[in-house]
A = this chain, B = another copy of it.
Amino acid sequence: MDVGRAAGVSAMAASAVLNGAKTSSRISDETRLRILEAATQLRYRPNATARALVQRRMNTIGVASSAWEGGPNSYALELVTGILEASGEYDQNATMFTLRNWDKDVERVHGWCDGRVDGIILLAPTLSREAYKLLPPHTPFVTVHGNQLVPHIVNVESDEERGAYELVTYLISLGHRRIMHVTGDRGLTGAERRIVGYKRALADARIPFSSKLVLPASFNSDKSRPVLREWMLRNEGEQLPQAMFCGNDGIATMVMETLAEAGLRVPDDVSVTGFDDTLAARTTAPQLTTMRQPLREMGRAAVEQLLKQVRRHETSNSPATDSNPIVFPVELVKRASVAPPPTAVRLVPKL
């Protein structure tokens, strides 16, 4: 505060006026004006680290994600966009932390709990139950699409099982019977919930479930690229599914690529659906019918939940009580990639 002092005349009462808090009762109008003027003239900025040291608050939230590895990821992009929007509105900064593998790199997470951020949002973490327990208790965490229900950690998620159910039910309503599910990474909560929804929709329509129509792939679209091609090579001459329900938009994009290469038309020969409604869903031709997850809004909610926890930690030392997940609704978005099934059965062509 020496700047303020040197410039004006008074001491570090400058702090009071710059913070604006209980100012009116504190400083005479004359001196405060002098301080304000000096501050703007010297272009003074209170040092954030000094302030953080005493206030124990950095006004910064951490965002941890493994999605940046292996190339851009539009799922994470939407989420981060929402997080940045909201953190800006709450006058918070956001610092991005990246890791490759949640369980292997969990030590890095601990390292971030050193006062540089007030709390951390974990984006689609896949930590073990043990790892969650070992997280430093003094730092608030919020998960988005977390893989575990953890006490004291709020999870922001969406109703994925219902989304899958509705999407598949929609396909069935158009007359589809042979519906393939190209899955996300098996074992991830999100992927499993889609499978459950898929099965439930089939069951409700009295369509027998066939594990042959479940094709394992990955939410990482690069990994998913060859999956359908390999399946077609193995199943040449067999019946082609009438529709492909894909685990996310990226998988659907890869599926459409492969179908195009095989000379099959979407949706005339086969319908394709995505999940998430990211940028990718609009840039394919035809555009994707997909199940919208409100990712931007979910990112915003994560920020709000985290800030709530941060405040709680500040005032009382009581840990979070409510660790109920916040569940967002999903919404069917109909676009051109879906049509009623062709009248004649299509066969898997030679590649």
Min Cβ gap A82→B in Å is 10
CB distance from A285 to the nearest CB of B (A): 4
A187 at the interface (CB under 8 A from B): no
Q: Does A159 contact B (CB under 8 A)?
A: no
Segment at the B interface, from A5-13, A72-80, A301-309: A72-80
Question: Chain A: interface residue count, which band?
Answer: 35 or more
Give the distance in Å from the alpha carbon of A115 to the alpha carbon of B43 in the complex.
14
* B-side contacts of A77, CB under 8 Å: 72, 74, 77
Give the residue among A71, A96, A97 with the most B Cβ atoms within 10 A. A96
In the complex, are the beta carbons of B283 and A45 less than 8 A apart? no
A60 to B112, CA, bound (A): 12
Q: Does A280 contact B (CB under 8 A)?
A: yes
| CB atoms of B257 and A47 under 8 A apart | no
For A115, list chain B residues within 8 Å (CB).
47-50
Q: Can you list, as one digit per residue, whether each of A10-48 has a CB less than 8 Å from chain B (1) or not (0)?
A: 000000000000000000000000000000000101111
User: In the complex, which residue of chain B has the Cβ closest to the Cβ of A288?
Assistant: B283
Would you call A110 an interface residue if the criterion is a C-beta within 8 Å of the partner chain's C-beta atoms? yes
How many copies of this chain sit in the oligomeric assembly? 2
Other-chain residue from B43, B48, B96, B280 in contact with A279 (beta carbon distance below 8 A): B280
In the complex, whether A131 has a CB less than 8 A from a CB of chain B is no
Q: Name the segment of A87-95, A202-210, A318-326 touching the other chain.
A: A87-95
CA distance A257 to B283 in the complex (A): 8
Contact between chains at A256 and B279 (CB < 8 Å): no
User: In whole angstroms, what is the CA distance A78 to B71 when docked?
Assistant: 8
Contact partners of A260 in chain B: CB under 8 A: 285-286
A72, B68: Cβ atoms closer than 8 Å: no
- Encoded as 1 (CB less than 8 Å from any B CB) or 0, chain A from 256 to 270 comes to 110010000000000
**A97-136: which have CB < 8 Å to B?**
97-98, 110-116, 136
Indicate whether A297 reaches chain B with its CB closer than 8 angstroms.
Answer: no
CA distance A96 to B253 in the complex (A): 29
Contacts of A47 in B (CB 8 A): 53, 114-115
B68, B88, B95, B283: which contacts A283 (Cβ < 8 A)?
B283
For the A-B complex with A72-B77, A74-B77, A93-B112 known, give 9 more contacts whose Cβ atoms are closer than 8 Å: A45-B111, A49-B58, A68-B81, A72-B278, A72-B279, A77-B77, A80-B96, A256-B285, A279-B280
Interface residue ranges, A against B (CB under 8 Å): 43, 45-50, 52-53, 58, 60, 68, 71-72, 74, 77-78, 80-81, 84-85, 88, 93-98, 110-116, 136, 253, 256-257, 260, 278-280, 283-286
